Amino acid sequence: MTRGSSTARAAGIVTLVVAGLLGSAYVLGRSLVPDQKPTHSTGLSTSADGPHYADQPSAGKPGGAPSASAGPVVTGQDGSGPVATGQDGSGQDAAGDKLFGAHATTGSPRLALTFDDGPDPRYTPQVLALLREYDVHATFCLVGENAQNHPDLVQAIVDDGHTVCNHSWQHDVRLGARSADAIRSDLLRTNAAIRAAAPNAPIVWYRQPGGAWTYPVVSVARQLGMTPLHWSVDPSDWDLPGATKITATVLDQAEPGSVVLLHDAGGDRQGTVDALRRILPELTARFELEALPTDPT
């Protein structure tokens, strides 16, 4: 064998060894990097049961997309999505208010039950029947398209002495990130649907879907004569934890002035209805319950 052929053979062996080492390094490196899963925005989804609005964050952690004036976007610690932040990125405005001025309590010793996303022909009548049984008045935060589709239920809510609240046209969590004109159009459209069903019903409260408060949505709501409404007790009934857990959370966290967040639409709400049947006897024994006033100012 010549010297040249020996050199070529040695070079070939070295090349194979290097290639093998590089391949091993690549496989090792890939094994150390977790798979990247695509992220999806939280919003309206549909199923055989109809629309679902499962995007409510925990109380005190309003989620959603901020407007340009609301500061940068950061992700919540629970990975639930972006939260609206202040100019300093702290998740609050300059005055330290994470809710941008939205009311989270009744401002009195009385407790308020609130029901979101309805009306729904399956669950709203059950909720109304239970409230009637215990002589309790509550506040119903109505989605505009549902009010348009079920005007008889809107009228039933008003006839029973409950307060109605604007909850946007289609439960758009990112509504607060849109232009003031788009926000105003959405809220006016919702008010029109409610008033078409119940012409004499005062609409003086507005609840932002997902609690995703921003400066623009609060400002527009106030310009239209509506007071922004948040909550202080959230049993996450939208996440279907079951009647037992919903009951325990509400009864453990309720205190004078609490605003309790519950849902009578947006998915399977039988667990909420069953929990309400357990909650009402104790709440009525411990507190005076009220529908939020129609003259909050």
| Domain assignments of the chain as residue spans, ordered by start | 102-286
CB burial readout 194-214, b (16+ within 10 A) else e: bbebbeebebbbbbbbbbbbb
Cα angle, residue 253 at apex, residues 45 and 131 outer, rounded to 5°:
70
Which residues belong to the active site?
116, 263
For the chain, what percent of residues have pLDDT higher than 70? 67
In 3D, which of 76, 79, 153 has the Cα closest to residue 120? 153
pLDDT of residue 87 exceeding 60: no
Q: Identify the pLDDT of residue 38.
A: 32
Region 70-92 average pLDDT: 32
Q: Identify the pLDDT of residue 53.
A: 60
pLDDT of residue 94 exceeding 90: no
Average pLDDT of the chain, as a whole number: 78
Comparing 199 with 79, the larger pLDDT belongs to 199
What residues form DSSP beta bridges with 244? none
Region 143-159 average pLDDT: 98
Give the pLDDT confidence of 3-16 residue by residue, as tens digits.
445 544 555 544 54
Side by side, which strands form the sheet with 259-263? 227-228, 203-206, 163-166, 139-142, 112-118, 259-263
Class of domain 102-286: alpha beta
Model pTM score: 0.73
pLDDT of residue 82 exceeding 90: no
For the chain, what percent of residues have pLDDT higher than 90? 66
CA within 13 Å, CB half, 24:
6
Q: What CA–CA distance (Å, rounded) separates 20 from 295?
A: 77
Beta carbons within 10 angstroms of residue 290's beta carbon:
18
Q: Which residue has the tokens 């399977």?
A: 268
Q: Identify the pLDDT of residue 81.
A: 33
